[in-house]
Structures are given as C-alpha cells and as structure tokens.
Structure 1
Amino acid sequence: MTTTPTVDVHAHVLLPEVEALVAGLPGLAEAKALDARRNGPAALAVSGPMVRERIPRLTDVSVRLAAMDAQGVDVQLVSPSPSHYHHWTGEGTSEKVYRLANEATAAHCSTAPDRLKGLGLAPLHHPGQAVEALRHALDQGLLGVEISSHAPGRELSDPAYEPFWTCAEEAGAIVFLHPFGCTLDERLDQWYLSNTVGQPTENAVALSHLIFSGVLDRHPGLKVIAAHGGGYLPTHIGRSDHAWSARSDAGADCAHPPSSYLRRLYFDSLVHDPHVLRELVRAAGADRVLLGSDYPFDMGTEDPVGALRAARLPEPDFHAVRGGNAAALLFEE
C-alpha cells in the first residue's frame, strides 16, 4: 500500500507566454480593474509580491521537483494558473490563449514526464471552442483541462456546454474545476474574503449547477475534480437534499438526492481543517478524495501529506487519498 506514489492533483504553472500574448489588448485593462475591485487594494498589495517571490517555483521545473522532493510528493498534476483564463477575450485571441497554454504546459511537464502530468485550458466564454480546446490538450499529451466555475453570463449548467461534457466523458479526460474570481464582487473586497469566502462559494455554486441541472445524470462517466474540497457544498449537502425532496422546482432536473452525486465527483483535500477533511471523506467516500496542495501559492499548504495525516483517517483511507485514488485516475489505461 505504501508503495503507491504520492500524487498532488492541485499544483499550478505560470505561463509568461500567455500574458505576453494578451498584453495591451483591448479588454485587458477592464478585466484587471474588475479583478482589483473584487479583491480590494489591501489584497493586491500582498498578492503581487507573493506571486513575484514564487515565480521560480511556478516556472522552473528544477525548483518544482526540489519542492516536491521536500514535500514527499512523487507526482504533480500541473494546471495553468487560473489567472490565464482571460474570459474577456474574443474568439481569435481565445483560441491563441488555449493553444499556447496547452502547448506551454505540455512542454513544462515534458521535462520530467514521470513526475509531472498536465492539464490544459478550455475557454468557457466561447462554448463552441471548448471541445476543440480539450482535443488540442489531449493531442499535446495532457490528461484533460482546467475550467473555471462559470464564464460571464454562463453557468456550468448551460446547454451550450453539452458537447464539451460529451467529449470529456467519451475521451476519459480529467476536468479540473478551479474558480477564479467571485461574482459577489465588492462585498468581498476586504480581508481577502474574495478568496477565503469567494473560492468555496464559487465551488459550491458550480457543483450545484452540475448536480441540479442533470449534467451528471446525462454524463455519469465524467471525471470532474473539484478544487478546494468542493467548497461549502460537501459539508452542507443536507440542505440540498432537503430542497430536492421538499420542493418540486429544486428536484425537477436531477434524478437522485444531491448528496448521491458527491460519489460521482472527485475532490482535492485542500480544506485547511482536519475535521472538515474527515467530513469530506465521509460525505464523498474515501475513494473520491485526492491529495491537493495548491502549489506554490500562499493559500495552499507546504505540507500536503502532513495535512492529510492530521485528519487521522484509517490507514487504508489515508493511502487512498495520498495517492492511490489519483494514481488510478491518472495512470489508468
């Protein structure tokens, strides 16, 4: 059991090529202004230096591998920084962004292919491009794509994404659900609430759209990994179950109680509380939780295995989350 590799499914790469591509384009300044309003000046004053200090860890493979060794991590599933979504871009630029992101991530991982597996990007703001973006990512040797919790004017329940879900299911591709920004906007612009409250909220809303709309009924083979332990949803799923059973509108479009769908999803372990992690394992099942660190950002953990050990799971469950589940997902034939 202990010979199973330790696999971290939540780790990021920064792609300067993508930022160079969009630099100076119409729409970028407005997008940055929105991001500034959502986060607030105090958060930006901390986040800028934090990211700059971590650029070697985000871009240099040798630094990444040394950090993995120090953490006891054998394999990382590397996804682009969510700052690369650029949901403001037109179709032409959007295609250039996802192609460059896919190719650059694949190149980064190719320098240590036994230890680094990668995900590309799918542009939710142009649903018609999502399928070709996923296929392009797979053509680069990546295992799937990272997506946000929504795009402007569209939720994950939008019928326009049906071809994408179909393609991901048929290809056996991984879809990593990782929010960027929160539509609560200036309500969260102090004390870094934009992240501490915003990210778990976005996760819960996005997953609820997948569940209540019937996406997971129509595509039972989807391999969706939710970052940040799925946010607030797994620990508050009883309220969803109650609504599903008590109200005709809540239960109109999904066939089963919402809690049952947790066992069709995957969740990373990054919840920052051993008691919450134990509850996540109870709610979703020990076979649906995967080790995650959010490497190398400050809202992650420097010791993902230690954080997992603190939950005091039964030893078989500990090893399943540490790497067994992810190894089966990433390396299955």
Structure 2
Amino acid sequence: MSISLLLFPVSQCTIYFHTFYTSISANYMHLHSMERTWFFMVYCCCIAASCLTMAAAQTNISTDQSALLALKAHITSDPHNLIFTNWSTTTSVCNWFGVTCGARHLRATALNLSYFDLEGTIPPQLGNLSFLVYINLKNNSFHGSLPKELARLQRLKFISFTFNKFIGSIPSWFEFLFNLQILSLYGNKFSGFIPAAIFNLSALQVIDLRYNQLSGSIPREMGNLTTLKEIYLDNNNFIGKLALMTGCTVLYNISWIEKLHVQENALEGNVPMVVFNMSSLTTLTIYGNYLKDRLPDNMC
C-alpha cells in the first residue's frame, strides 16, 4: 500500500484522537492506575481498528475508480459526453453517471450504461469491480471479445450486453458466476456453440441469446436447471432435432419453463407432443425451422 493512501486515514485518526482526548481528559485523571491502563489499551485498539478500516475503504474505492477509469480509457466515442466529462477524479465514483454504490461498503455495486451510445472495448480491469451485482451495457457499440477477467465478478446477478457488437465464442467462464440470474447476449455477433457449462449455474432464470450467429445443437444440459424460466435462442443457426432438448426424459426435467423461443433456426424433426403438456408454458415459438407440421406418432 502506498504512503499516499495512508495519509488521509491517519490524519483523520489524529483528529478523532484529539477530539476524544479533549472530551474525556477531565474525567481520565480520576481513574485508578489499573483502570487507566486498561482504558488506554482498549482505546488504542479501537483507534487502530478505525484507522485500518478507513485505510481499507480508501484503497477499495480507489480500486473501483481505477477499474472504471480503465473502461473510460477504452471508450472511443461518447456522443452525449456522459462519461468523458462526468467520470473525473475530482468527484466520488459513487456520483459518476451510471454508477451505483452500496450503502454499507461504499463500493460500486451496479454499472448501468444502457442507451449511452458508447463505442469501445471492455478492459480486463473491469474484473476488479468485485462488489458488482448488476451490469447493463444495452444499446451501445462495444465490440471485441469479453475479457476472461470478468469471471472474477462472482457477485453478479444480472448481465445485459444486449445490442452491441461483441464477437467470438460465448465465454465458458460464465460458469464461474455462481449467483447469475439473468444473462442477455441478445443482438451481438457471438458464434460457435453454447458452452454446456453455463447450464450448471443453479440460480439462472433467464438466458437470452437471440440474434447472434450461434450454431450446433441445443445442449441437453439445459435440463439441469430447475430455476430456468425463459429461454430465447431464436434467429441463430442451431441444427438438429428439437427432441434433443424436449425429448421425453429431458423435457420432464424442464417442465417449469414458461417461455421457449427457438424460431428461425435450422431445427428439424417432429415437435414433441410433451411440449404442449407443459402446464407452466405460456409462450412457444418454433416457426422458421424444418419441423414437421404434424405431431409425432409415438408420444411420451
């Protein structure tokens, strides 16, 4: 830890000590010698703990500031001047546009830059926002790939990278975001397969991968998630039989699904009758595939 980070907390502790000493000095002399010793020891411990806490808080918010300034440096276009003029070291991170801090730790817990019309890339330093629970970059023009350092954001519950220009494969490190409930990569240029490990996220409720360039078959591991309510896989290049996802055995395990969108892919075969027996299902869209019109003969 650098000396500059300690200057502010130490000076504050000095002020607290002087104020407290002035207030108790009149009564302190009336204490017995043993009482004075114990009092002084307890007081010193309290002062030390307070100073360490203040120093840690200063360091932590500096970490968040550095991470966000790295993001600012990777932004090449900010037409509304929401980031370039507002994100300044002269003001607290917690007062920056799009940043919300938690009341307890005063750390950045939410980053909402949706509809800012920004252009740029995501730096690896963003993975240092260790208290982040919510990130929304919807409707911008961020491009490139997602850095693996984002796997450190294990408090995240909500991710929306909707309508950007991200490319490459969907990162397998999403599986380390154990608290993730909503994942939206809708409207990007992701390609390749869906990593099956994503469906080990036991808290996941919504997965939205619409309008990408994904291919391959829909992973059977989707049936592992008892929390999953909404699945959006439409307008990709998925192939294979719909029965791979909704066959008798697998569909029984995802009978709680409420919305299932797989239209405009290259799925083939029959539509399993069991789909229409799902009591929780409110929306099913399957048009624009190579599915047969009639129901299968051997129903589950």
Could you say which TM-score interval applies, normalised by the shorter chain? 0.3 to 0.5
Q: Which structure would you say has the larger Rg?
A: 2
Structure 1 or 2: more strand by fraction = 2
Greater relative contact order: 1 or 2 (C-alpha under 8 angstroms, separation 6 or more)? 1
Query: Please, what TM-score do these two structures have when normalized by structure 2?
Result: 0.32
Query: Please, what TM-score do these two structures have when normalized by structure 1?
Result: 0.30
